[in-house]
A and B are shown apart, each in its own frame.
Chain A
Amino acid sequence: MTQPNTQDILAVMSAPALVCTAAGVVESVNEYAADWLETTTTKAAGQLLGEFLRTPGESLTAFLQRSQRSGHACCKGHVYQVANRSRQIAMICHAQQLQGLQVSGHLLLVFSNVVRSGRDNEDVADFLSHTNSVPPAISQCSATKCHLNPSDANETNSLSDVALGLVHEVNQPLTAIAAYAHSCQRWLSAGPAVHPRLLPTVDKIIEQVHITGQMINSLKGLVRGHGDERQVCDLNELVRESLELLALDSRLESCAVESQLEAKPCPVLVSSAQIKIVLLNLLRNALEASLAFHATESRLCVSVSIEEDIWASATINDSGAGITAEAEAQLFQPFETSKPNGLGLGLIISRCLATAHAGQIDYLPGLSHGASFQLRLPLTQAN
């Protein structure tokens, strides 16, 4: 197992769970996953996962129910949301032109057994080699990745990965629909006689439209619904946890991080997973901007503060090239990006998530160098 793969997987962060099967059906597995995490040990999880990967027919949901019933001891804090990872790894693989995860009917690799420090590469490698022996295509996929793309190992941005993966998934039925429709058009323009394949082809179009609809509905579930369980969290804590996740990114080694947390607690009523997505996305943007501008003396600074007694804010400054007036106007436009491999959706999705929490994300202009973004969330009563 090579370093880039491990790093790549470690760079994945948690998000609401969504699993794509080979048939393109998207399953939400959050609730099961959350319960499962509460009730399994790392070791038992590994064993169960091995079992799962060896059982081609079983769906992830069924697997999680089964493991929940078998009631393993707690490994809370040791495993991130298992299903999220499976999906995101699948998405990364998609995003990086990789093949092989559609093994045995599942477009997923369930990844657990990662200790919270995330630095324990041996554990990860061990787990991966175990899974490799089960679906052979996965090892092939790792090999292909190294072959195709050694330099891209660090360029994973999970929001873009998710979006990119979904773009790919939705594109498939769209392609089929377009080709079917064009065929019908040809048959119809050939003459008044009804071509025998016309009706069956129209049926196929309708079927593909339904499949597309299902995918889009599940995408909605990513932002709302599942993973939306809100609780009172301290923004300081969320920032700290996001920084921990960011620390898994090996590029951080060449960038100094400074954090100034608020001395008082900053209680906010949020879905911690979603806010961490937002924070991590802003942090990654800052990291990338800093490194792109000045590879050796990069610096990023995060501060948390309370404003006007009603807002808890997290401000992220980078030492990048800054944002031109032109680019500023495009900041929150979809598909506008300054990154070579970016999709231009990170800030949009982040803003949607912030808005869903009655908060906002702003670009703070006027900095002499670098750029500054701020996430503001309404303060709530601590319970």
Chain B
Amino acid sequence: MRRSTVYVVDDNAAVRDALLTLLDSVGIEALGFDSGECFLEQLNPERAGCALLDVRMPGICGLELARQMRKQKSELPIVFISAHGDVRLAVEAMRFGAEDFIEKPFRDQDIIDRVQRCIELDCHRHERLRELHEVRQRLYALTSREQLVLERIVRGEPNKEVAAALNVSTRTIESHRAHVMKKMRAPCLATLVSMVTTVQMIEFD
């Protein structure tokens, strides 16, 4: 698993320290912040992990903090902790994209399990992002001619049609096609199609 950081944001010093101690006792790397403002400054989008946010804090409250994180395009999984959970608050939290909602005081295993699940989720997300980034790099490395060919073959056009449309011989297209497959590191057409559509989908967002 890649290195990860858990961010603990709670204005209550004792609770914050205790949570850091607990996470440390199971070897989870964690950082504590006494306010949402400090946390937002330190937030590193490159790093996988999760955020444990207290719902009530002076200044930016937990829910508002989650909103601002999403606004800053941080997709860090969020677990809310609250001294008294009520349904309305939990619903609100889920609307802000929280993974979970835990009531204080909590069982250690509960919070550790959730934190670990979130870290795993986030590691997967980072892994996918990395793969996507690589595919994109490979796409950009294609020559403009190869990109034209790629566009048509992922649409399912046979070599012959592509050749006719681009006004070259089928042999030339076959050669381009082989280059595309090699440069994109795609073992078959199906993989190539899936790579291209994933990138397009993300870029469309």
Which A residues are within 8 Å of any B CB, using their own CB?
A: 24, 94, 97-103, 137, 140, 144, 148, 164, 167-168, 171-180, 182-183, 185-187, 197, 201, 204, 207-208, 211, 341
Contacts and interface: CB of A to CB of B under 8 A. Distances in A.
B61 A97 contact: yes
Contact of A101 (B14, B58, B105): B58
Most B-side CB within 10 Å, residue of A168, A176, A185, A201 = A176
A41 to B, nearest CB: 32
B12 interface: yes
18 contacts: A103-B58, A137-B58, A140-B59, A172-B14, A175-B18, A175-B81, A176-B12, A176-B15, A179-B111, A180-B22, A182-B22, A183-B21, A183-B22, A183-B25, A185-B108, A186-B25, A201-B21, A208-B14
Given A103-B58, A167-B83, A175 B105 contact: yes
A140 B84 CA distance: 22
B20 to A, nearest CB: 9
A102 B11 contact: yes
B52 to A, nearest CB: 11
A178 B59 contact: no
A172 B108 contact: no
Interface in B92-107: 92, 104-107
B24 interface: yes
Contacts of B17: 176, 204
A144 B64 CA distance: 9
A154 B56 CA distance: 21
B83 A148 contact: no
Given A174-B104, A179-B108, A99 B83 contact: no
Nearest to B14: A176
A26 to B, nearest CB: 15
A173 B25 contact: no
A103 B108 CA distance: 31
Nearest to A149: B88
A24 B83 CA distance: 14
Contacts of B56: 94, 97-99, 168
Contacts of A186: 25-26, 108
Most A-side CB within 10 Å, residue of B14, B104, B108 = B14
